[in-house]
């Protein structure tokens, strides 16, 4: 059952003391019903040092309470991180916050002010509440988009967390994540109220994340099937971008949160790129391997030239303006996203392994299999009308 914040507040007052007495930890995961957040909740519930996992999400799904075990209770509640009072009530009695809640919008379909209010204002609320409630540990889910590419489309080729890269970030979503990162970094070391302790924060930058419930893979598959099972692509063949399985991104969060408690002097204030053993940095090859492992008929097609897609984007924009409000098309590729896709932005690191012993929990073979099983289940009943709709939208 999804609990109201009043119910959870009363429940928190009874669990706070016992949690501290028996040494078990209470975690709160903002955005815990999201793509990465759900995996974090699932893995946290399997840890014997965690007594309770609270899921705070604006679109709650009570089925996450199925992750409850004999030793770990999962509680789902509804709340918006822009509402400070709701957040404060939810965080009562928690010891660790993993902050994943955000509007993830690469297509510029959400107004910038709204994305900023959630991604930046919401992060500010989380940090403020931690200081008021004496919650000393925060792990923040960021994105490689917070770093780049920049508006000059300068590449980063196999950099790392210490690589210097400057310029204005290209994607509006990335701008908001960069602002939020700055807040989290500045909050590290800030004094919390009453007990004289200090806030310890760290940041995990996710990249192109695939796996179960990655809707972009489902959309690509439907599009490929509508085009005779041919999967075309946009990026030049020498373009590099890291891809990571969602379960491994989540596992890195779990380990980082635990070691932020155990080794705060080492992890506090640090930034970590997520990574695993996904075998290539060429995104079009990974997409093809993931789709073809589920449906061998999917064939890798050819690259769509930049100039052609640039022209299509501008024509689409002109037609949209001319026909508005009579025609409201589906979200379409935009120029900032196109420039991001065709720009190399890759990294090579083992920092998480060195600092807190991270190793991928899922191998490439397991990651591919799990993704394929989900794709098959979610597209298995695809009818001809769906394929035709995908063809028309494309």
Distances (CA, A) of 93 to 54, 84, 88, 129, 307: 11, 16, 10, 12, 55
Question: Is the Cα torsion angle 233, 234, 238, 244 positive or negative in sign?
Answer: negative
DSSP helix/strand/coil, 307:
helix
Q: Alpha-carbon distance 290 to 209, whole Å? A: 12
**Is the pLDDT reported for residue 391 higher than 70?**
no
- Which of 91-95, 253-257, 383-387 shows the lowest per-residue confidence on average (mean pLDDT)? 383-387
Residue 341 has pLDDT above 60, yes or no: yes
pTM: 0.89
> Is 173 labeled as catalytic in the residue annotation?
yes
pLDDT band at 224 (very low <50, low <70, confident <90, very high): very high
Please provide the average confidence, as pLDDT, over all residues in the chain. 89
* 158 Ramachandran zone, left/alpha/beta (phi>0; psi -120 to 50): left
Tokens for 332, please give them: 């379409």
* Annotated catalytic residue within 140, 173, 347, 358: 173
pLDDT of residue 195: 67
Calculate mean pLDDT across residues 284-298: 95
Q: What is the pLDDT of residue 178?
A: 97
- List, for residues 10-59, the tens digit of each pLDDT value: 333 333 333 343 448 999 999 999 999 999 999 999 999 999 999 999 99
Q: What number is the average pLDDT over the span 323-349?
A: 87
Q: Is the pLDDT of residue 243 over 90?
A: yes
| pLDDT computed for residue 3 by the predictor | 45
51 in Cβ contact with 24 (< 8 Å): yes
Please give the Cα distance from 205 to 127 (Å, whole number): 18
Among residues 185, 50, 184, 200, the alpha carbon closest in space to that of 136 is found at 200
Q: Are 164 and 122 in contact (CB under 8 A)?
A: no
pLDDT given for residue 309 in this prediction = 95
| Helix axes of 122-133 and 172-187: crossing angle, nearest 10 degrees | 20
Domains and CATH numbers, the chain: 5-213+243-273 (3.40.50.720)
């Amino acid at each position: 059952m999804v609990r109201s914040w009043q119910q959870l507040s009363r429940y928190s007052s009874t669990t706070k003391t016992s949690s501290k007495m028996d040494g078990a930890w209470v975690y709160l995961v903002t955005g815990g019903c999201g793509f990465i957040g759900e995996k974090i909740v699932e893995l946290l519930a399997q840890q014997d040092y965690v007594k309770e996992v609270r899921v705070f999400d604006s679109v709650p799904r009570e089925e996450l309470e199925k992750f409850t075990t004999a030793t770990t209770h999962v509680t789902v509640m509804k709340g918006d991180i822009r509402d400070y009072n709701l957040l404060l009530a939810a965080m009562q009695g928690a010891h660790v916050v993993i902050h994943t809640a955000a509007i993830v919008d690469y297509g510029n379909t959400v107004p910038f002010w709204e994305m900023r209010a959630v991604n930046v204002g919401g992060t500010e609320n989380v940090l403020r509440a931690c200081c008021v409630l004496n919650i000393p540990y925060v792990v923040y889910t960021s994105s490689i988009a917070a770093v780049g590419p920049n508006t000059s489309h300068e590449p980063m080729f196999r950099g790392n967390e210490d690589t210097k890269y400057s310029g204005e970030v290209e994607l509006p979503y990335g701008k908001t994540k960069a602002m939020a990162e700055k807040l989290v970094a500045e909050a590290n070391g800030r004094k919390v109220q009453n007990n004289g302790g200090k806030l310890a924060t760290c940041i995990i930058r996710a990249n192109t994340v695939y796996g179960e419930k990655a809707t972009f893979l489902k959309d690509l598959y439907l599009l490929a099937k509508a085009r005779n099972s041919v999967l075309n692509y946009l990026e030049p063949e020498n373009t590099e971008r890291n891809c990571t399985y969602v379960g491994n991104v989540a596992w890195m969060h779990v380990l980082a949160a635990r070691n932020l408690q155990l080794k705060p002097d080492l992890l506090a204030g640090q930034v970590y790129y997520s990574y695993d053993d996904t075998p290539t940095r060429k995104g079009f090859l990974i997409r093809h391997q993931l789709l073809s492992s589920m449906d061998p008929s999917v064939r890798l097609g050819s690259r769509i030239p930049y100039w052609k897609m640039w022209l299509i984007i501008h024509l689409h924009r002109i037609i949209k303006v001319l026909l508005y409000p009579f025609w409201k098309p589906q979200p379409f590729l935009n120029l900032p996203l196109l420039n991001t896709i065709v720009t190399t932005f890759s990294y090579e690191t083992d920092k998480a392994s060195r600092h807190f012993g991270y190793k991928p929990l899922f191998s490439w073979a397991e990651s591919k299999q799990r993704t394929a099983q989900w794709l098959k289940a979610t597209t298995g009943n695809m009818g001809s009308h769906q394929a035709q709709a995908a063809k028309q939208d494309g």
